[in-house]
Structure 1
Amino acid sequence: MSLMKSLLAGAAALCIAPGLALADPALIFDLGGKFDKSFNEAAYQGAERWKAETGGSYKELEMQSEAQREQALRRLAETGANPIVMTGFAFGEVLNKVAPDYPNTKFAIIDTEVDQPNVQSVVFAEPEGSYLAGVLAALASKSGTVGFIGGMDIPLIHKFECGYAQGVKATNPNAKVLINYTGTTPNAWNDPVKGAELAKAQKSQGADVIYAAAGGTGIGVLQAAADMNILSIGVDSNQNHLHPGQVLTSMVKRVDNAVYDAFKAGPELQTGTREMNLKSDGVALAMDDNNKPLITAEMTAAVDKAATDIKDGTIKPHDYLTDNTCPVQ
């Protein structure tokens, strides 16, 4: 079966309904699927919010393999979809190649920058939100040892790791931060079994709060933490409800807003780089009834103070991407 035929085989792989208006927007999910309870699902929620509010329709595609990226983009552009939004840095190289071939189509890419005149690049201030998660973890930890489990070992996820470590150390300079990554290939985003194994290993080393920035792999981290009766921290989407009373908080990236805003702008989407930070509510800690019993007044005050200091520039969490280093490690 040719690659294009494989791409088009089955509604699960490519959900493009016939007869849609030419200007329908489109959303391509990265590996892991739209119901990963994390990054992709946040994007899906943004698209669905736009659909509910406008009554419009959109095309969607779930990636099944790395090899599909270019064909997927070209296929959607040929159908007239505009704008086309994609989740994940891994689309960067392909989009840089494809975008010039469709100058009248607007593209939006989440989590990396692509310098093309018809592309909006949406990036997030992950160090800011992760710093707050670190503050909370340090205050919640009884052992003085906390953990971080990343998905694919790439600079983007080191942004989460470094921001988290800074928040932990600023709150408890004597705290120990354990760090593991799931792997070095895209499969690292969708391996909950490995995530659980790493969580168990960190628990054996004393960690009693573990932050997972690992896409679908993080589901295994959160499950293992709950099973071991320690705390976890979710990422991207609000994951507090997955294990009420066991998930300390979730570092939410408003990927949903990025998708919603792009769909709402339509073909008039503003190009260039858009940063979503703490000040613009682009990142935040999730607080709700599921984690309310875990959050003390002291924790609330400390997080609120740190958030204020970040917003006004008093605290400036280091961005790993600026020099590929983390000052607290």
Structure 2
Amino acid sequence: MTFMQKLLGAAAGAALLAGAAQAEPGLIIDLGGKFDKSFNESAYTGAQRWKEETGNDYMETELQSEAQREQTMRRMAERGANPVVVLGFANASTLEKVAPDYPDTNFVIVDMVVDQPNVQSVVFSEHEGSYLVGVMAAKASETGTVSFVGGMDVPLIRKFACGYAQGAKDTNPDINVVANMTGTTPTAWNDPVKGGELTRAQISQGSDVVYAAAGGTGVGVLQTAADEGILAIGVDSNQNYLHPGSILTSMTKQVDKAVYDAFQSAAEGNFQTGLQVKDLASEGVGYAMDEHNADLVTEEMQQAVDEAAEKIKSGEIAVHDYTSDDSCPALSF
């Protein structure tokens, strides 16, 4: 090999390495809208924080229909995004199919497990965080009835509802928990009108605290609760600010941190595939306290929630996970 051939080969290798180092991560926003003030927006916030703090950029696509899932994933991988972060359980079957076709691209799925060598699966212990807000709901309720509005009726959302009901009933065994799902199709994530209708129906059944785990639909739940003078509980993001004095707390889920960490670990060259479980002990889930709900939460209420949190972390309280056996001892659907 001549000196010039070696030089050209070295230059080509350096260019390939530089290209790999400069690969931009990608984010695929799920149905329900980027600014759903909940799950999707939390992911977007994490990506934006990474961009602002590092000065790096990322690719972004927002799904508009179910039919776009596979095409969008493939297009993002073919554009060179690495890793590609997809949001929501509904992407699992598509990612199972797509990931093997792009072995040199790492993928991240949030809220579901995909067992492929180039996939990082991030799941949260939503039942544990929901238990805590259930404790607070039971403490705050004056009628003895609290309620839950879910988005799409899937095991993941039942996991929220069951943890909530268990927390409420462990706090007050006589409490009544009413639960409704918005629908059985993806439109259930973005139907604030239906969310409001369900909330009013629950109020007519005596509910004075409602917990929404419904994406964009939850915005309607929170608005209706504020309009009707009852308390509400937000989800995923800290939603306390939306209706100060009306939102009792929010069950927080660090989706933003999951996205940020995926982007940053890839940038630093230490991205890891496999399963990551974000639970209460690792601060993956929790509940929100700030100036917007400080007047609603008494010291006694907060102490009860914090004591429950410590017992969950120590194993003294075992919160049932609906997805472990498709059962819900604390609630009938």
Where on the TM-score scale, by shorter chain, does this alignment land: which range? over 0.9
The separation in 1 between residues aligned to 2:195 and 2:330, in whole angstroms, is: 24
Q: Secondary structure at the match of 1:328?
A: coil
Deviations 1:237-275 (A, max 9, x none): 110000000000000110001000000011642111100
- What's 1:117 paired with? 117
Deviations 1:72-126 (A, max 9, x none): 0000100110000011011100000000000010000000000000000000000
The separation in 2 between residues aligned to 1:199 and 1:234, in whole angstroms, is: 13
Aligned residues of 1:31 and 1:186 also touching (Cα < 8 A): yes
The separation in 2 between residues aligned to 1:325 and 1:297, in whole angstroms, is: 34
Offset at residue 33 of structure 1 (A):
1.5
- What's 2:15 paired with? none
- What's 1:186 paired with? 186
Structure index of larger Rg: 2
The separation in 2 between residues aligned to 1:328 and 1:188, in whole angstroms, is: 24
Amino acid at match of 2:139: L
- What's 1:28 paired with? 28
Amino acid at match of 2:87: T
Aligned residues of 1:22 and 1:81 also touching (Cα < 8 A): no
Q: Secondary structure at the match of 2:42?
A: helix
- What's 2:315 paired with? 313
- What's 1:240 paired with? 240
Gap regions ≥5 residues in structure 1? 1-18
Amino acid at match of 2:277: E
The separation in 1 between residues aligned to 2:271 and 2:147, in whole angstroms, is: 39
Q: Does 1:293 align with 2:295?
A: yes
Q: Does 1:270 align with 2:272?
A: yes
Offset at residue 49 of structure 1 (A):
1.1
The separation in 2 between residues aligned to 1:48 and 1:22, in whole angstroms, is: 18
Q: Secondary structure at the match of 1:120?
A: strand
- What's 1:56 paired with? 56
Aligned residues of 1:22 and 1:79 also touching (Cα < 8 A): no
Deviations 1:38-69 (A, max 9, x none): 00000011101111111000000110000000
Gap regions ≥5 residues in structure 2? 1-18
The separation in 2 between residues aligned to 1:314 and 1:45, in whole angstroms, is: 35
Amino acid at match of 1:176: N
The separation in 2 between residues aligned to 1:226 and 1:318, in whole angstroms, is: 31
Q: Secondary structure at the match of 1:270?
A: coil
Q: Secondary structure at the match of 2:295?
A: helix
The separation in 2 between residues aligned to 1:317 and 1:220, in whole angstroms, is: 28
Offset at residue 194 of structure 1 (A):
0.1
Q: Secondary structure at the match of 1:284?
A: strand
What root-mean-square deviation, in Å, do the aligned CA atoms of Structure 1 and Structure 2 show?
Answer: 1.3
The separation in 2 between residues aligned to 1:156 and 1:211, in whole angstroms, is: 15
Offset at residue 148 of structure 1 (A):
0.4
Aligned residues of 1:210 and 1:225 also touching (Cα < 8 A): yes
Offset at residue 22 of structure 1 (A):
5.4
The separation in 1 between residues aligned to 2:329 and 2:116, in whole angstroms, is: 33
Offset at residue 316 of structure 1 (A):
1.0
The separation in 2 between residues aligned to 1:324 and 1:32, in whole angstroms, is: 25
The separation in 1 between residues aligned to 2:53 and 2:210, in whole angstroms, is: 37
Amino acid at match of 2:193: V
Provide the TM-score with structure 2 as the length reference. Answer: 0.92
Offset at residue 201 of structure 1 (A):
0.3
Deviations 1:165-192 (A, max 9, x none): 0000000000000010000000000000
The separation in 2 between residues aligned to 1:217 and 1:110, in whole angstroms, is: 20
- What's 2:251 paired with? 251
Q: Does 1:80 align with 2:73?
A: no
The separation in 2 between residues aligned to 1:26 and 1:316, in whole angstroms, is: 37
Identity of matched residues, %: 66
Q: Secondary structure at the match of 1:294?
A: coil
Amino acid at match of 1:295: V
Aligned residues of 1:32 and 1:189 also touching (Cα < 8 A): yes
The separation in 1 between residues aligned to 2:35 and 2:22, in whole angstroms, is: 27
